[in-house]
A and B are shown apart, each in its own frame.
Chain A
Amino acid sequence: MYPRDAFKTRAVTRRTMLATGASALALSLSAPSMALAQTPKRGGTLRISNGGDPPDFDLHQSATYLTQFVGAPCYSTLLRIDPSDYNKLVPDLAEKYDVSADGKTVTFKLRSGVLFHNGMTLTAEDVVYSLDRIRKPPAGLVSPRKGLLGNITNVKAVGDLTVVITLAQAQLDFPFLVSNPYNVILCKKVAEPLDAQGQGMKRQIVGTGPFKLTQAVDGQIYEMERFDKYFGKAAYLDKLQFFPIKGEIERSAALQGKRIDACFFFPNESVLSTLRKVPDITELRRPTPTFINLIPNVKMKPFDDPRVREAISLAIDRDAFIKTVGPLAGAAFHSKGLMLPGSPYSLSDTEVKQFGGYDTLPGMGGNVAANRQKAMTLLEQAGVPKGFKVVMIARGDVPAFRDSSINIAAQLKTIGLDASVDIRDAGAFYAAENKGDFQLIAHSVALSGSLPDQILGEGYTSFGGRNYGQWKDDSIDDRFRAQSAEPDPDKRKKLIHDFQIAFLKTYFQINLAWVGYGAAHSKSVKGWNAMPDLYANMQMDTVWLDS
């Protein structure tokens, strides 16, 4: 089933996975393949700004790009996404890996002589500790991505440079999952005692990455310098500086005023469009694995009734939603089905149209009035009284939550629901959400990647960690596991197709749009390739300044 030698000299790619099922093969991986038009220059300081201070530095415990952006240049993963090709993995700490014939045992061979920033040498024990820390966090620590590595049954070190991972079942996407940019390798001797105190790596960074943290001043600066003993090709830049400028307009002004060289996180299209007119600046918006879904709480009546959930989906004019909320929240993209926009796993138009309200996606020509009429009929059949009160709690500090909720509440009024929005700060919102104390929420969900196991596993299973609506359906979870283990790409594609059809029928989550992240940088910043994934390619070792 898993021919061991078929791809020995090829890099593993998302495309080859889809085409040949080759991810779980024995591989010898190629080096990063940056195709550069100019000769990179060494030196200089890259000044970057994003949306604020990282709450802490513990990537395993974190789910915010603020932590990941500052941590990524300082850490390494087993494999990494090729800086020039999002679909390809290249070596990082592991110089190669091997998958057993049954696909259940993955063996990573580590590079020798890799040094942590504190001078200690990387060993297989560090990898074992790090992966175990993610999948089974010590008491007092949390691990938002433990589900990603939930298929691991055992991780063990064989000698100093070999790590053997045993899986419960074969998993095609595993190399990408284990190399997720958040799944960095920590120094066991540093992390273990801190973990035992329940503190974790929140206050320090000791990694093996191309840059070393030298200064962290809350509210002011996070500075790192090139790590001269980095195991890979030395970074071009002397220093990286991150500045926590909170407002979009303020970041944009800092870029225009040449105080900074690059900045990220521009949900608002009007800010990007201003930067578009500045000659020395390059701006972009890329789709990222973040969707905005409407999530009914199925434990709360009447949302336990699938007719009510379908009625809600029917009420939504998705085209209008994207046109209205898109420019405010970066929700400019849409997909056909559950996968990323433009995914090879997308459903056909005919298939999408069979689900209530999805025919109003841009270009599909759906009849909004007819949909809403049908929605009212469904509500009546379900015994929902006219004027039924629906309060949508919304997080006030993020447009993708706040503006989506306001738009949806207005649209729900068209089917006779008395919908309103209760805007709260992040703490109050998450407290209610975590307790299941809500009726219906519009939720922006940033996933850890774009592969089927990441999108479907994290976003659409009952155990994936994003089951805010508290649904339970074993058949959905079984379908997920079946596609995850299927080595034949055609069969897997069919299983993913069937999963999407089955899930969409439940209306456990109602997809509204996909988010694109905004970024902008001075034209003197070279060698940074914007990926269709906010978290990818942030190690900055290939970036240089042409000034």
Chain B
Amino acid sequence: MLAYIAQRLMTGFVTLFAVAAIVFLVMRVIPGDAAVMMTGAGAGVVSDEELAQVRKKLGLDRAIPIQFADWAGDVARLDLGTSLRTGNPVINDVARRFPYTLQIVIMAMVLAVGIGVPIGVIAARFMGTGLDRAIQAFSIAGLAAPSFWVGLLLILGLVKYFNWSAPLFWEPFWISPLKSMSQLIWPAVAVGLRQLALIARMTRSIMLEVLGEDYIRTARAKGLSEWTVVFHHGLRNGLLPVVTLVGFEFAALFGGLIITETVFSVPGLGQYVVTSILARDYPAAQGIVLILASIVVLGNLAIDLLYGWLDPRTRLQGA
């Protein structure tokens, strides 16, 4: 198992290096560099000399491979550089913002799994009934509604009917967990609705398959309660694809938060990455993409390990 983990970590490292190189290159080939944005070109025509001076100051006049080697060397020492926009070390900006994003992602996934799995099971158990159709309609609507639109509707609805609007100060979880969760519940709902719908549909479809298996019929024949048959024998065996989906969606949520955080003005990573890219803040954009890629790589590794725990057949003996 240790060898397997080491092998996966090595693959992950190569993946991260490739991501870093691609992001670095993409940031430099898209039109409009950091110098153009920093000189506020929108205020008027900036001379080539002025732009050249700023590029020189930023080190952008050097060859791209040299710039990449410098940056990669810093990253290897866990130094993501200094944000051109905020002037802070990128790692500090990330450390301040990451907890909010992580908390929304966790809350969204808890909502999605906590509601999506049971209603998926219920829909399968009562297939073809009005309840099943209602759950299916709900999940299709959840899949179709973009999170930013749901967020805007929530904001407008809450202010219109409850005079509630998004807070200006977001309480960190470790200071006041309850207050923090009550503040972030709406962004979590906005972003988690799609995941909830997806998980409900996936659970329903897997459970329909599982509930027709011989061992389920056997369990029922043994006189076990329906609850035990469905949740103990059925759900446990049907959970594997759902876990895979949860793993992927957990990672995808970090990217999906970009717009939701902007809508609710949550000072999280999503807002930071979009602002950094638009401002051509190279160190910040590169650093944050690298961190997000690391989360995806580690998330996938965790899911693979979870597989072995859930399904002994997939355990890698001596691997």
Q: Which residues of the other chain, B, contact A246 by a CB distance below 8 angstroms? A: 262, 265
Q: Which residues of the other chain, B, contact A425 by a CB distance below 8 angstroms? A: 32, 278
Nearest residue, chain A, Cβ from B87? A203
User: Could you tell me the distance between the alpha carbons of A467 and B97 in the complex, rounded to whole angstroms?
Assistant: 41
Which residues does A use to contact B, with CB under 8 Å? 47, 52-53, 55-56, 61-64, 139-140, 142, 144-145, 147, 198, 202-203, 217-221, 241, 243-247, 249-250, 253-254, 256-260, 397, 424-434, 458, 464-468
User: Could you tell me the distance between the alpha carbons of A465 and B275 in the complex, rounded to whole angstroms?
Assistant: 27
- B134-189 CB contacts (< 8 Å) to partner A: 152, 155-156, 158-159, 163-170
**Which listed residue, A53, A218, A427, touches B33 by the CB 8 Å rule?**
A427
Q: Which residues of the other chain, A, contact B159 by a CB distance below 8 angstroms? A: 253, 256-257
Pick out which of these stretches binds chain A: B11-19, B50-58, B191-199, B228-236.
B50-58
Q: Which residues of the other chain, A, contact B50 by a CB distance below 8 angstroms? A: 142
**Which listed residue, A52, A63, A243, A247, touches B168 by the CB 8 Å rule?**
A243
User: Could you tell me the distance between the alpha carbons of A151 and B159 in the complex, rounded to whole angstroms?
Assistant: 52
Q: Which residues of the other chain, B, contact A434 by a CB distance below 8 angstroms? A: 36, 41, 45-46, 51
Q: Which residues of the other chain, B, contact A468 by a CB distance below 8 angstroms? A: 45
**Which listed residue, A139, A203, A245, A427, touches B30 by the CB 8 Å rule?**
A427
**Which listed residue, B30, B42, B166, B275, touches A250 by the CB 8 Å rule?**
B166
Judge whether A254 and B46 touch: CB under 8 Å.
no
**Which listed residue, B86, B167, B265, touches A218 by the CB 8 Å rule?**
B86
Q: Which residues of the other chain, B, contact A218 by a CB distance below 8 angstroms? A: 85-86, 88, 93, 267
Judge whether A426 and B155 touch: CB under 8 Å.
no
Judge whether B44 and A63 touch: CB under 8 Å.
yes
- B234-291 CB contacts (< 8 Å) to partner A: 262-265, 267, 271-272, 275, 278-280
Given pairs A250-B166, A256-B163, A259-B166, 18 additional interface contacts (CB within 8 A): A47-B168, A63-B40, A63-B44, A64-B43, A142-B40, A218-B86, A219-B275, A243-B265, A247-B263, A249-B156, A260-B168, A425-B32, A428-B30, A429-B32, A430-B41, A434-B45, A467-B45, A468-B45
User: Could you tell me the distance between the alpha carbons of A464 and B166 in the complex, rounded to whole angstroms?
Assistant: 43
B31 is an interface residue with CB less than 8 A from chain A: yes
Known A47-B168, A243-B168, A254-B166: A431·B263 in contact at CB below 8 Å: no
Judge whether A249 and B42 touch: CB under 8 Å.
no
User: Could you tell me the distance between the alpha carbons of A425 and B170 in the complex, rounded to whole angstroms?
Assistant: 29
Instruction: Render B35-79 as a binary contact track against A, CB cut-off 8 A, 1 for contact.
Output: 011111111111000110110110000000000000000000000
Q: Which residues of the other chain, B, contact A220 by a CB distance below 8 angstroms? A: 169-170, 267
**Chain A: minimal CB distance from B100 (Å):** 10
Judge whether B36 and A250 touch: CB under 8 Å.
no
Judge whether A427 and B31 touch: CB under 8 Å.
yes
**Chain A: minimal CB distance from B76 (Å):** 27
Nearest residue, chain A, Cβ from B32? A427
**Which listed residue, A144, A217, A253, A259, touches B40 by the CB 8 Å rule?**
A144
**Which listed residue, B44, B46, B170, B265, touches A244 by the CB 8 Å rule?**
B265
Q: Which residues of the other chain, B, contact A259 by a CB distance below 8 angstroms? A: 165-168
Judge whether B53 and A430 touch: CB under 8 Å.
no
Judge whether A142 and B46 touch: CB under 8 Å.
yes
Nearest residue, chain B, Cβ from A197? B57
Judge whether B263 and A430 touch: CB under 8 Å.
no
Judge whether A198 and B57 touch: CB under 8 Å.
yes
Judge whether B165 and A254 touch: CB under 8 Å.
yes
User: Could you tell me the distance between the alpha carbons of A52 and B86 in the complex, rounded to whole angstroms?
Assistant: 13
**Chain A: minimal CB distance from B185 (Å):** 16
User: Could you tell me the distance between the alpha carbons of A243 and B36 in the complex, rounded to whole angstroms?
Assistant: 26
Most chain B Cβ neighbours within 10 Å, of A56, A217, A430, A433: A430
User: Could you tell me the distance between the alpha carbons of A426 and B39 in the complex, rounded to whole angstroms?
Assistant: 13
User: Could you tell me the distance between the alpha carbons of A257 and B44 in the complex, rounded to whole angstroms?
Assistant: 38
Judge whether A53 and B32 touch: CB under 8 Å.
no
Enumerate the 9 nearest inter-chain pairs by beta-carbon distance, A residue then B residue, closest first: A63-B43, A427-B32, A257-B165, A465-B44, A144-B43, A431-B32, A219-B267, A430-B41, A428-B31
**Which listed residue, B53, B271, B279, touches A140 by the CB 8 Å rule?**
B53
- B216-236 CB contacts (< 8 Å) to partner A: none
User: Could you tell me the distance between the alpha carbons of A140 and B93 in the complex, rounded to whole angstroms?
Assistant: 26
Q: Which residues of the other chain, A, contact B275 by a CB distance below 8 angstroms? A: 52-53, 219
User: Could you tell me the distance between the alpha carbons of A63 and B44 in the complex, rounded to whole angstroms?
Assistant: 9
Q: Which residues of the other chain, B, contact A250 by a CB distance below 8 angstroms? A: 155, 165-166, 263-265
Judge whether A253 and B156 touch: CB under 8 Å.
yes
Q: Which residues of the other chain, A, contact B167 by a CB distance below 8 angstroms? A: 259
Most chain A Cβ neighbours within 10 Å, of B40, B155, B164, B167: B40
Q: List 16 A-B contacts (CB under 8 A).
A: A144-B43, A219-B275, A245-B265, A253-B158, A257-B163, A258-B163, A258-B165, A426-B37, A426-B42, A427-B31, A427-B33, A428-B31, A429-B32, A430-B37, A433-B41, A434-B51
User: Could you tell me the distance between the alpha carbons of A431 and B48 in the complex, rounded to whole angstroms?
Assistant: 11
Known A259-B167, A431-B32: A247·B262 in contact at CB below 8 Å: yes
Q: Which residues of the other chain, B, contact A430 by a CB distance below 8 angstroms? A: 32, 36-37, 41-42
Known A140-B53, A247-B262: A253·B32 in contact at CB below 8 Å: no
